[in-house]
């Protein structure tokens, strides 16, 4: 909106501005989760590589598919327990929410597999057998998390997102739910259903901002900006960052961090840090429109397993 006032700016974890300016947010959400399942390959592959000594979900010689199967068994057990008794403390949605919260941060993957998963499994098994101690322990954790969320809940995100969004008028709640179900089958079985996304509110938000900006988006900027994105991001897929750089042309340069998670902050990269340092210190950027930086090899996601190991295993698979 004010291209002549743009200084040195880093955009990390990019949304697609054309989607948001032309489409209703409920349809945008499934596009933003386009890479979620690719991110999920990261922790299950790393867990398999670490084996039982580094990841409690894995058995000896397990593959990533085997680790996923163990997690799916837990989800099925939780679902079955809820079918028998709708008042059980731990549901499959609770477990999915815990999985979803870890995808954006590789530093939390081992905590989920080695702490959250066994606690959830014990809780769900307790529900199935009628024993309540383990289930109550996990339920207490969930209650604390929900209480913290409710105590700090504001609707500022919805107000900003929805006020700036397209209002197609006439969208029904039924259509929104059908879209969520369809997206869980075609886009992401994890995030489309369990994340309480503000996107679903917008068809029913009562106002739209009078200053809502609809373009143009290819204005000439006072300075080149730096755009960054992980290769595998669960909520802002790389294609969105690439689209933005394509629109801005010579006014933007893209750095792709060859790793997982939402924004580059979750994994250290001396390569990326150096690019950012040079940019903010000297204003210098690479001539190439797209540069790639690897995550530091000494950053271990699981015991003796780094991001490079995981990516190599996924490529082979």
Distance CA 176, CA 31 (A): 15
Q: Is the pLDDT of residue 212 over 90?
A: no
Residue 141 — very low, low, confident or very high, per pLDDT cuts 50/70/90?
Answer: low
pLDDT of residue 211: 87
The whole-number average pLDDT for the span 187-209 is: 82
Closest CA to 128 of 84, 97, 70: 84
Half-sphere exposure (Cβ direction) of 42: Cα atoms closer than 13 Å: 34
pLDDT of residue 155: 86
pLDDT of residue 196: 59
pLDDT of residue 189: 81
pLDDT of residue 5: 96
Could you tell me the residue ranges of all domains in the chain? 3-16+218-295+305-316, 25-33+154-204, 36-151
The whole-number average pLDDT for the span 249-255 is: 95
Q: Is the pLDDT of residue 195 over 80?
A: no
The whole-number average pLDDT for the span 156-181 is: 89
Across 44-53, 133-142, 253-262, 281-290, least confident range: 133-142
List, for residues 84-137, the tens digit of each pLDDT value: 888 888 888 889 888 998 999 999 999 999 999 999 999 898 887 765 555 555
Written in H, E and C, the secondary structure of the chain is CCHHHCCCCEEECCCCHHHHHHCCHHHHHHHHCCCHHHHHHHHHHHHHHHCCCCCCCCCCCCCHHHHHHHHHHHHHHHHHHHHHCCCCCCCHHHHHHHHHHHHCCHHHHHHHHHHHHHHHHHHHHHHHHCCCHHHHHHHHHHHHHHHHHHHCCCCHHHHHHHHCCCCCCCCCHHHHHHHHHHHHHHCCCCHHHHCCCHHHHHHHCCCCCCCCCCCCCCCCCCCCEEEEEEEECCCCCHHHHHHHHHHHHHHEEEEEEEEECCCHHHCCCHHHHHHHHHHHHHCCCCCCCEEEEECCCCCEEECCEEHHHHHHHHHHC
Residue 292 — very low, low, confident or very high, per pLDDT cuts 50/70/90?
Answer: very high
Q: Is the pLDDT of residue 145 over 60?
A: no
CB 275 within 8 A of CB 24: no
pLDDT of residue 112: 95
Phi-psi region of 125 (alpha: psi -120 to 50; beta: other; left: phi over 0): alpha
What's the whole-number average pLDDT of the chain?
A: 89
The whole-number average pLDDT for the span 198-217 is: 89
Q: Is the pLDDT of residue 179 over 80?
A: yes
Q: Is the pLDDT of residue 178 over 70?
A: yes
In percent, the amount of the chain with pLDDT more than 70 equals 91
Distance CA 30, CA 189 (A): 11
């Amino acid at each position: 909106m004010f291209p002549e006032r743009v200084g040195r700016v880093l955009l990390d974890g990019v949304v697609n501005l054309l989607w948001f300016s032309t489409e209703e947010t409920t349809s945008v959400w499934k596009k933003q989760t386009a890479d979620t399942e690719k991110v999920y390959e990261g922790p299950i592959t790393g867990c398999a590589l670490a084996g039982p000594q580094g990841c409690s979900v894995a058995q000896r010689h397990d593959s990533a598919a085997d680790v996923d199967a163990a997690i799916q068994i837990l989800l099925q057990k939780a679902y079955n327990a809820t079918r028998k008794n709708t008042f059980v403390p731990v549901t499959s949605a609770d477990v999915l929410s815990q999985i979803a919260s870890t995808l954006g941060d590789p530093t939390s993957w081992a905590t989920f597999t080695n702490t959250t998963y066994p606690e959830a499994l014990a809780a769900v098994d307790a529900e199935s057998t009628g024993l309540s101690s383990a289930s109550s322990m996990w339920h207490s954790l969930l209650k604390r998390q929900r209480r913290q969320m409710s105590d700090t809940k504001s609707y500022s995100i919805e107000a900003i997102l929805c006020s700036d969004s397209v209002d197609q008028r006439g969208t029904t709640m039924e259509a929104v739910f059908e879209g969520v179900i369809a997206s869980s089958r075609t886009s992401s079985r994890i995030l489309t259903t369990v994340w309480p996304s503000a996107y679903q509110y917008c068809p029913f938000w009562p106002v739209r901002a009078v200053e809502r900006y609809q373009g143009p988006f290819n204005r000439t900027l006072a300075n080149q900006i730096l755009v960054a994105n992980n290769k595998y991001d669960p909520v802002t897929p790389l294609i969105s960052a690439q689209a933005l750089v394509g629109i801005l042309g010579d006014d933007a340069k893209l750095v792709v961090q060859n790793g997982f998670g939402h924004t580059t902050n979750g994994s250290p990269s001396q390569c990326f840090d150096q690019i950012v340092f040079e940019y903010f210190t000297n204003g210098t950027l690479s001539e190439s429109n797209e540069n790639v930086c690897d995550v530091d090899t000494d950053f271990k996601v699981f015991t003796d397993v780094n991001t490079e190991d995981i990516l190599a295993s996924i490529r082979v698979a």
